[in-house]
Copies of this chain bind each other. A is one copy, B any other.
Amino acid sequence: MADDPTDRTPRTLTAPDASAAASFVAAAVERDALATLFGRCTVEYDGRAASSLASGDRHVMLKPDGTALVHTDEGQKPVNWQPPGCAHECRANGGDLVVESVRDSPAERLTVRFSAVAFAAAFDPTDEESLDVVGTEADLKRRILEEPGLVESGFRPLATERQTPAGAVDVYGEDDAGRTVVLELKRRRVGPDAVGQLNRYVEALERDLHAGATIRGLLVAPSVTERARALLAEEGLEFVPLSPREES
């Protein structure tokens, strides 16, 4: 059974010594299994930045796509990690189990050194499904294109992702007076950054079309912070309250 590659039974190991753990993890990595380890370890990282973490109990996951994750008992983000595409290696060193995940470009190395492994497990996951998310900026755009009057009476969308020297505009169109209108869409409450983004597009289009062109810039989002509202006013831009999901 242990040699059947279609076997979905997990392999496990409790309190192994370093060499048993190394063999176990090496075999799991070799056969593209998802390996997990729990135990007392230190973690070193060097690459885009560098970090060091003293000894403590952590959970380590090695994925077959080259991802490595180190989790403590707190936080949604791993305390250390390595992105997909890395090569996982492991070896016994002294009495320790050393797990390393390495990649080039950028050159990065993650080193986890276990002084004690409490537990190891390896799984062979099969997952053909993909996630379907609702309530994104794309949904907001869809809503607007289906019902332009949600933005304002008489608004007519002419293009999406229209290019400008400053980047692509989310939605480009005209108002009922024939003036050019630029929409910047956000799925949630917006701060000053989104105002800056919209302003870049408006200024780029004003330069690009012709000197005297009057272009309206509308920030479309569920709500806006005070500072963002002040910036909008300074720049002569407008805010339109609208949510990606039907309710507001």
Contact = CB atoms under 8 A, between A and B. Distances in A.
A4 interface: no
Interface stretch (A23-31, A87-95, A121-129, A141-149): A121-129
18 contacts: A10-B118, A10-B119, A36-B36, A49-B134, A49-B187, A50-B133, A51-B133, A53-B129, A53-B132, A55-B129, A56-B129, A72-B127, A76-B83, A76-B84, A118-B123, A193-B193, A193-B197, A196-B196
Contacts of A73: 34, 63-65, 125, 127
A121 B10 CA distance: 12
A158 interface: no
Interface string A7-27: 011101011000000000000
A81 B76 contact: yes
A36 B122 CA distance: 13
A52 interface: yes
Nearest to A52: B132
Contact of A56 (B76, B125, B135, B199): B125
Interface of A: 8-10, 12, 14-15, 34, 36, 38, 48-59, 61, 63-65, 67, 69, 71-76, 79-81, 83-84, 118-119, 121, 123-136, 165-167, 187-188, 192-193, 196-197, 199-200, 227, 230-231, 244-245
A245 to B, nearest CB: 8
The 7 lowest CB-CB distance pairs between A and B, nearest first, are A56-B127, A49-B135, A196-B196, A57-B125, A54-B129, A73-B125, A51-B133
Contact of A231 (B61, B63, B126, B200): B200
A165 B80 CA distance: 37
Contacts of A74: 63-65, 67, 84, 127
Contact of A50 (B79, B126, B135): B135
B121 A119 contact: yes
Contacts of A80: 131
B71 A76 contact: no
Given A34-B59, A134-B49, A67 B75 contact: yes
Nearest to A118: B10
